[in-house]
Amino acid sequence: MRILVLGGDGFCGWPTALHLSAQGHDVAIVDNLSRRRIDEELGVQSLTPISDIETRLAAWTEATGRTIEFHPLTVGKDYDGLLEILTSWRPEAMVHFAEQRAAPYSMKSAQHKRYTVDNNLNATNDVLAAIVDSGLDIHLAHLGTMGVYGYGTAGAAIPEGYLTVKVETPEGWVEREILYPANPGSIYHMTKTQDALLFQFYAKNDKLRITDLHQGIVWGCQTAETRLDERLINRFDYDGDYGTVLNRFLIQAAVGYPLTVHGTGGQTRAFINIQDTVRCIELALKHPPKRGDRVKVMNQMTECHRVRDLAGLVSRLTGAEIAHLPNPRQEADENELLVENRRLLGYGLEPITLADGLLIEATEIARRYAERADLAKIPCVSHWNAERAAAAQSTDPTGKAAVAAE
Amino acid sequence: MRILVLGGDGFCGWPTALHLSAQGHDVAIVDNLSRRRIDEELGVQSLTPISDIETRLAAWTEATGRTIEFHPLTVGKDYDGLLEILTSWRPEAMVHFAEQRAAPYSMKSAQHKRYTVDNNLNATNDVLAAIVDSGLDIHLAHLGTMGVYGYGTAGAAIPEGYLTVKVETPEGWVEREILYPANPGSIYHMTKTQDALLFQFYAKNDKLRITDLHQGIVWGCQTAETRLDERLINRFDYDGDYGTVLNRFLIQAAVGYPLTVHGTGGQTRAFINIQDTVRCIELALKHPPKRGDRVKVMNQMTECHRVRDLAGLVSRLTGAEIAHLPNPRQEADENELLVENRRLLGYGLEPITLADGLLIEATEIARRYAERADLAKIPCVSHWNAERAAAAQSTDPTGKAAVAAE
């Protein structure tokens, strides 16, 4: 299959491009390297020493004999450039990672809210408009987020995208299937719920074939392909903006820093290992919707855990302490979460469990590169609103967050 | 009340600014005059001879002794400029019309889709982010559209924004209230459903006070204030992109052109007179939500009609013929529509009915300015997708659409 990976230099995009190439697909990457520029803006770097894109791609060819083309281009701004790639290279599928993907980053300031909305929505609309313009029947797989569901399921499992509800009519209550009602918790998550409306529209109006993968929080760093050569290593973020919760705990444990749990840690979240992410994307590309189908939505996650239970797990594994900090996010302290994920399991996904994979991750990445960590960058310094910011300043049980944030 | 009208030079924005000023409010307008530039792009002009903004504002002061400030600024691009107006002028309310508002225009080409998404979503997000940044408790009233509901009500009346549904839980089916499921019919309508998610988020996260007015199709041109002086005249669009259905029929009748009904004309739509629009907006500003409330949604419409019945009404009034053309829109040929609008009626709105107002409109505007009409601009030359475009080329019962479209 000829597959264009948009955002193929990022944390999920890079290992996806390699995995698809390793499986024998023809892969090309489109990326503007914005993720590397955000590292510079935030004054942070990946815990792992990532190579520049040219070195990465040369190492891939050296290791495997396979070639991945690279197009430096901003999806959402350079529409003509994107359309030119589609009409000349004629991909059969596209994977769309070309969005700003961190909730705390999207909430840092008005400028970060503006960047996230502008970047993500124009990117998705440009991709869809370009597919229509090209006249090609390209299957688009997009990385969404479990966060579009808003964690409000009243004890029922979150279905895969659509919810059966009953609505009142003159003939009584009748069943209808609707897009799961959105209740996003950040500007970033909100853009993904807005993406869902773009997909719904283009699938209906232009019969585009679209798969939206609502992914859980990704943990882990390496895949079979990124382990082939150190120049292929994937990025590992542990900072307060881009570091997802489990990776943050691992690096905190490795450097002897308390595991920082926001609020009670009663937030239940869905998780998936990065190796499973790349497998899921290939499975999604192998099982596309038919032309005229509605958007195919799959929940791309394998386990649900409470944040405090994860902290407990990492603490038992490593001996690290646990510290409770005020939650910077405007969200409920405690929530239940049950998620339907039968589709990807049905296509043959065999999940890597936290219980099996966590220790490898802790030693392979967190301990090995611990000396590269900048402890000052670990706390989350984005606050969802003025009240949450004030709460963070007045309470700091560890005494470390405020210092580190300065 | 100190009220900032964003998009105050447009078809609804201009008469709203005048009405609010006439009611004794302090009014300022922000506009980048993009609607006038789109006239130039399309090679069309308002049927009525509208004055430039400086002349309009001078005429208003001359006629009433009142002053309306004007800030030339692109909402959604010049964030710092917008924030500066908020912090220095400190409005108590804002009315947000600063969006591209024509469905056919939004579907003309990839570039028009891109412009509509980029303009509308960045505008709305900038307005919301700037209110948060300003620290002011500004009430925002936004002009939405009945089109967010997607006309799929299975015989029940469309409620005001929120729908009570039953969802299945381990304890059985329980009632929940959700934002009405969106099913937009064009890129333009889609941006309004995406706006609704922006409003939901900022109301929840930042306790902004927001009213979203889901407006029907506006007919008519003049209000009590725009009639005071010919330099205050409101714009009247009759072209295939911006001309709404009833105004198009009126000008077609006035120039002896057949009334062009798309498809069977069985589409039922909600309508409101422009004079009622401006009254509704003042009523909405007088009845704001409280801080911490969810978004207040009201349906701003007064009557529902089938398009073919409207054509019949205009035909009987004027003697014009009716011509059926292929529908350029991807939509159902026939639909029912019942709409709840008790809130604005409860605040005292006394609607102007089509039966009462249509003849005045036909004589005051359509016949009076008929010699300014460019007949070649009447047909809708935007097609929702390739199939609709092909259908339009192969079938043209009047023989005029194709000629005019060339």
End-to-end CA distance of chain B: 50
pLDDT band, residue B403 (cuts 50/70/90): very low
Closest to A218 measured CA to CA, from A193, A239, A196, A246: A246
Determine contact, residues B94/B139, Cβ cutoff 8 Å: yes
Cβ contact, residue pair A155, B169, below 8 Å: yes
B175 burial (CB, 10 Å; 0-12 / 13-18 / 19+) is: exposed
pLDDT score for B278: 98
Distance CA B293, CA A195 (A): 26
Distance CA A195, CA A191 (A): 6
**Chain B partners within 8 Å of A126 (Cβ):** 114
Residue with tokens 């529209």: A201
H or E, element range at B300: strand B296-300
What pTM was estimated for this model as a whole? 0.94
Q: Residue A37's Cα: distance from chain center in Å?
A: 18
Asked if A178 reaches chain B (Cβ–Cβ under 8 Å), the answer is yes
Distance CA B213, CA B281 (A): 8
ipTM of this predicted structure: 0.94
Asked if A197 reaches chain B (Cβ–Cβ under 8 Å), the answer is yes
Of B122, B167, B194, Cβ closest to residue A163: B167
pLDDT over threshold 80, residue B337:
yes
Interface test with B, best of A132, A180, A194, A331 (most B CBs within 10 A): A194
Closest residue, chain B, to A169 (C-alpha): B156
Cβ contact, residue pair A167, B156, below 8 Å: yes
Q: Name B268's Cβ contacts closer than 8 Å, sequence gap at least 6.
A: B151, B304, B305, B306, B307, B335, B336, B337
What pLDDT, in 10s, does the model give residues A304-316?
A: 999 999 999 999 9
Instruction: Look at the alpha carbons of B186, B189, B194, B200 in this order and tell me if their dihedral is positive or negative.
Output: negative
What pLDDT, in 10s, does the model give residues A154-173?
A: 667 899 999 999 999 888 99
Tell me which long-range contacts B290-295 makes (C-beta under 8 A, separation of at least 24). Answer: B290/B209, B291/B137, B291/B207, B291/B209, B292/B207, B293/B203, B293/B209, B294/B200, B294/B203, B294/B204, B295/B161, B295/B196, B295/B199, B295/B200, B295/B203, B295/B210, B295/B211, B295/B212
Asked if A183 reaches chain B (Cβ–Cβ under 8 Å), the answer is yes
Of B113, B171, B386, Cβ closest to residue A129: B113
Instruction: Give me the DSSP letters along B205-274.
Output: HH--EEEEEEE-EEE----TTGGG-GGGPPP---STTT--HHHHHHHHHHTTPPEEEETTSB-EEEEEEH
H or E, element range at B142: strand B139-145
pLDDT band, residue B171 (cuts 50/70/90): confident
pLDDT score for B151: 55
**Chain A partners within 8 Å of B136 (Cβ):** none
Dig out the tokens for B183 from the structure.
Answer: 């099913």
pLDDT score for B153: 59
Dig out the tokens for B238 from the structure.
Answer: 């009759």
Average pLDDT over residues B152-157: 68
Asked if A198 reaches chain B (Cβ–Cβ under 8 Å), the answer is yes
Report helix angle B354-361 to B307-318, nearest 10: 50
Of A110, A165, A193, Cβ closest to residue B129: A110
What pLDDT, in 10s, does the model give residues A335-371?
A: 888 899 999 999 999 999 988 888 788 778 888 999 9
A192 annotated active-site: yes
Q: Are strands A172-179 and A268-273 parallel, antiparallel or unpaired?
A: unpaired
Average pLDDT over residues B51-69: 98
pLDDT band, residue A153 (cuts 50/70/90): low
Tell me which of A79, A105, A124, A192 is the catalytic residue. A192
In percent, the amount of chain A with pLDDT more than 70 equals: 95
Determine contact, residues B279/B16, Cβ cutoff 8 Å: no
H or E, element range at B192: helix B187-206
What pLDDT, in 10s, does the model give residues B105-134?
A: 999 999 999 999 999 999 999 999 999 999
A180 annotated active-site: no
Closest residue, chain A, to B76 (C-alpha): A114
Measured CA angle at A162 (ends A160, A163), to 5 deg: 110
Determine contact, residues A373/A367, Cβ cutoff 8 Å: no
Å between B181 CA and nearest CA of chain A = 7
pLDDT score for A152: 58
Asked if A162 reaches chain B (Cβ–Cβ under 8 Å), the answer is no
Distance CA A325, CA A252 (A): 14
What pLDDT, in 10s, does the model give residues B191-240?
A: 999 999 999 999 999 999 999 999 999 999 999 999 999 999 999 999 98
Asked if A90 reaches chain B (Cβ–Cβ under 8 Å), the answer is no
Determine contact, residues B188/B148, Cβ cutoff 8 Å: no
Determine contact, residues B178/A163, Cβ cutoff 8 Å: no
Cβ contact, residue pair A121, B117, below 8 Å: yes
Mean pLDDT, chain B, whole residue set? 92
pLDDT over threshold 50, residue A397:
no
Closest to B384 measured CA to CA, from B332, B320, B324: B332
In 3-state terms, what secondary structure has residue A175?
Answer: strand
Cβ contact, residue pair B193, A193, below 8 Å: no
* Bridge partners of residue B30, in order along the sequence: B6, B71
Asked if B206 reaches chain A (Cβ–Cβ under 8 Å), the answer is yes
Of B121, B206, B384, Cβ closest to residue A121: B121
CA distances from A260 to A132, A250, A397 (A): 46, 11, 10
What pLDDT, in 10s, does the model give residues A59-89?
A: 999 999 999 999 999 999 999 999 999 999 9
Asked if B169 reaches chain A (Cβ–Cβ under 8 Å), the answer is yes
pLDDT band, residue B53 (cuts 50/70/90): very high
Mean pLDDT, chain A, whole residue set? 92
CA distances from A71 to A4, A22, A54, A57, A78 (A): 10, 20, 11, 12, 12
Cβ contact, residue pair B163, A167, below 8 Å: yes
Closest to A122 measured CA to CA, from B41, B330, B187: B187
pLDDT over threshold 60, residue A248:
yes
Q: Across the beta sheet with B268-273, what order do the strands follow?
A: B217-219, B268-273, B303-306
A and B: number of Cβ contacts within 8 A: 134
Q: Name A251's Cβ contacts closer than 8 Å, sequence gap at least 6.
A: A47, A236, A238, A243, A257, A366, A370, A373, A378
Distance CA B144, CA B220 (A): 19
Provide the residue type at B361 as one letter.
E
Average pLDDT over residues B172-183: 92
Average pLDDT over residues B380-401: 72
H or E, element range at A30: strand A26-31
Helices (H), B31-162: 34-42, 53-64, 79-89, 103-106, 110-134
pLDDT band, residue B92 (cuts 50/70/90): very high
pLDDT over threshold 90, residue B333:
no
pLDDT over threshold 50, residue B40:
yes
